[in-house]
Structures are given as C-alpha cells and as structure tokens.
A and B are shown apart, each in its own frame.
Chain A
Amino acid sequence: MTESKCILGPFDVALEEPVYFNITPNVDGKTIQSVEMINGFVHRGMESIVLRRNFLQNLIITEKVCGLCSNNHPFTYCMAVEKLAHITLPRRAQYLRVIADETKRIASHLFNVAMLAHLLKRHTLMGLLLEAREHFQDIKEQIWGNRMDLSANVIGGVKYDLSPEKIAFMKEKIALTHKMVVEIVKLFETDESLKKRIQGVGVLPHEKALSLGVVGPVARASGVNNDVRFCAPYAAYDALSFNVITRHEGDVYARAMVRLYEIFESMSLLEHAFDALPEGEIALHVKSVVPKGEATSRSEAPRGELMYYLKSNGTQKPERMKWRVPSYMNWEALKVMLKGNAIEDIALIFNSIDPCISCSER
C-alpha cells in the first residue's frame, strides 16, 4: 500500500462551480483591486418543486436545501406553516427544537474553523477541531440517527424525544467537546504567529456591515448584532439566556473568534434547555390543510438569519414559497473584504464568511 494524502480541499469541486470570480490585481500584482462575481450553478429549481408538493412533503424538501443548515430550513418552514395554521406548539417541542438547532450550530461552527486551520496548514489544530466535531456527529447519530440531516422537525412539533439517559449521553459528549474547545480558543488567543496571519485580513467595517445588511457571525464580528434569537426570539429562546458574541475588528480572526465563543454559548444554551425541559407532548396532531393566508418566519442559522415566506390559498399545496439564506446577504460583502488584501489570502477570506452555495442557489 502506498501513502495516502488528501490533496483536495473541501471546496475543490472539480466541476461546475456555482460561483466564479474575476479578480483584478493592483499594479503591484500582489493585492486585490476589485472582484466581480458570477453566480448561479447549484440551482435545482427548488422554489418550483415546492409548489408541486403538499405542505407535508415540503418538509422533507426543505431539509435538502443544504447539508450544513439542514435543521434550520425545516425549522423555519414549520414556523411559517404554524403561523398560518395558528398553532401554538407544546413547550417541550419548543425546547427540543432549540436543542436540535444548537447541536447543529456547534458542529457547523467547528467545521468552519477546522477549514480555517486547514487553509492555514495547521494540521494538528484542524485534527483537533474535526475530532471535537466528531463528538457532535456522534450525538447527532445517537439521538437523531443521522450525522447530517436530523429530521427533527414536523409541523406542530418535533419527531424525537429525549430520555434522561440520552440527555446524560449528550452532557457527557458536550463536556468532552467543551474541554477541547477551551484548548482551541486558548491557542487562538495565545499563538502570536497564528493571530498575526489572520488579524487585519479581510476587514468588513462596521458601517459597511450595517448598510450591506450582512447577517450571522459575519455581522457580529463587525459589531452588528442582528442575531434573530436575540432580536426576534422564537421557539424557546425567549426563556433561555445567552450572550450574543460581538467583536469590533471585522476581520478573519474576529469571525473565527465569534464562532468559537458562540460554541460556548450554544453549549450553555443546551445545558439550560436540558435542565428546564418541560414535560408534555412533543407534537400536536395537525390537519394537513393549511388555511388561506401568508406568513413570514425567521431563525438564526449557523451562518445567520434565515427567512421564509409562505402563501397559502387554502389548498394542500403552497401558492408561493420563498426563502432567503444567510449566505445570500453575505456574498456582496466579500467585495469589501477582499479589496486591497493579498491575493494569497483569498481562500482565508472566502472561508471566513462560511459560504453556502447550495443554499444560495436553491
């Protein structure tokens, strides 16, 4: 057997790229003057598919918009349907939704920072981050039966329940991961060469972040707090306390640190939710016909605000269904972040917005 090595990066899709960049360098040939983008490749016509399926079938479709935020899509979709149908969820279901969502957020953030370590060629650090993420993959596989798509949500509640044993298992895994993330954060805060490499890179100034309407960790790293969980609480977030992590630097480092510290917040949200988990039903029995009307709903996905709009004409199928994903708002900010930066930093800056193409293309 010969040695095995991975020469393909995570986003090395060999074929058809959803986004193409035309990068114009400055006269020095080392820095970026401007960037133009062409988008549009993983378009699967999803907003058309959903009009031909009924409200229950669409639950499955929304889960397949994107692998990494595959919990937020059905979650936010369900909230829109429930608003139309005037359903108030059992409290236990609200908490269980939060638990599924925060679990996904932690895994997603760990993956993004792991990719940053990969790009920096910090292999030990990357290994540590991916190992930490594996604990959360184990949680997902144990509790929901799948490592990516949890299938946790259903119109009117959730499809899974937690027993004391399962909660104990999750707590044990969280404690293990917590210890690792503490180490990782320490490294990010004390390793001067690492900091030097990514501080001041890809800066998005506060004013630009506001005017472009960026969302998620990208916004918060530039001092803009539009965390939906905080600004417009949904599910059980109104009853759970957490800190919104913001920074002012707006660079690649700040975005990584926002994600790392959000992992701690998500962990404490999980702990709170376990302790305060109310007794009761996990789902309501809902008739499949949704009354006429229109509704909007939002949630905070790992990459930021996710929004759904749903219009029903009283039949089994939606009349119009649209969603806008966090990456959609953040792409345009890349132009600001890249300008004037070294060409060799392009990959770092792309990764720092945690771009999701399949989400944006639909």
Chain B
Amino acid sequence: MSDTIYVYRINTGSCNGCDVEILASVLIPKFGFDTLGCTYTNDPTLANIVLVTGSITARSKPYLEKILTQLPQKKVVVALGICPISGGVFRDSYAITGPLDRFVTVDVNIAGCPPSPKEIAQGVAQACSLWREKCYEN
C-alpha cells in the first residue's frame, strides 16, 4: 500500500481561526508539516486521518453525519480546536449539537483557540503514528 497518508478536513461551523492556522501549518516550512508524509484530500473515501474543526452547528449536523458514513471504517479522528472538543464558549447555544465525540470516536484532541500551527503539526504527527500503528495491527 501507498505510504502517503490522506488527511480529510471537515469544517462544522468554525470561526476560521483554526482553518487559518491549519493553512499556516501546511504552507510555512518551519512548522515541519512537510516531513509528516501526508497530504490533504477532497475525497472522504480516501481519508486516513480526519480533521474536524468547528462546534458542529445544528445546520451542519446532517452533513457531518452523512460524511461520517462515507468515511472508511479504519481511520484516525482528530478534533481540532476547543470547539469540536467541548463546544467551547458556544456549548449552551440552541444552534450547537456538538461536541464531536457524540458522533464519532475521537482519537486525538488538539486543544487551543486556535491551536498554534506547531501544535497542529504535532497533533497530526501523533495521528500519523496512530494510523501507522493501526495499519501494522492488520
């Protein structure tokens, strides 16, 4: 099988802080994303690692659920930022259905509001090694 690890990203109503920092982590060499051996994909069926940002708004819930059914059984789920982890400051709102672990088992939490690109790269690295372990098991 291919060495490349595919990362798929889902935004469930993020304030764009996390998304900007994801981008920074990927595009700026000093954060070391290059060395992780993974690449982003637009195809959920290819996903090995799933990054979720945002607090899972009521509107996005059905879309999240639909995407979850398209994802492969074997995967590593990463909750990125405090929003998918706990709902953050939005947790009591009528429009919030999170946190993420209501819908899917979360393997890695990257806490922060937003986490720094360094932390994101670290978290993705952790997810990569979890993925390799999973592959090794089989």
Contact = CB atoms under 8 A, between A and B. Distances in A.
Do any CB atoms of chain A lie under 8 A from CB atoms of chain B in the complex?
yes
A6 B13 contact: no
A14 B90 contact: no
A86 B5 CA distance: 57
Task: Name A's interface SS.
Answer: loop
Interface string A133-168: 010010001000011110000000000000000000
A200 to B, nearest CB: 29
Given A1-B37, A46-B93, A40 B10 contact: no
A106 interface: no
B55 A44 contact: yes
A4 B28 contact: no
Interface string B61-99: 001100100000000000000000000111011111000
B42 A8 contact: yes
Given A41-B59, A44-B90, A130-B28, A4 B36 contact: yes
Contacts of A358: 13-16
A214 to B, nearest CB: 21
Contact of B16 (A2, A4, A68): A68
B23 A2 contact: no
Interface string A56-67: 000011001111
Chain A residues touching B, range:
35 or more
Interface in B7-59: 8-21, 23-24, 26-28, 30, 33-42, 44, 54-55, 57, 59
B4 interface: yes
A42 B38 CA distance: 28
Nearest to B67: A15
B11 to A, nearest CB: 3
Nearest to B66: A15
23 contacts: A1-B3, A2-B37, A8-B9, A12-B9, A14-B10, A14-B11, A14-B44, A15-B67, A16-B60, A16-B63, A44-B57, A44-B95, A44-B96, A45-B90, A45-B93, A64-B89, A66-B15, A68-B17, A130-B27, A141-B116, A148-B114, A149-B17, A149-B114
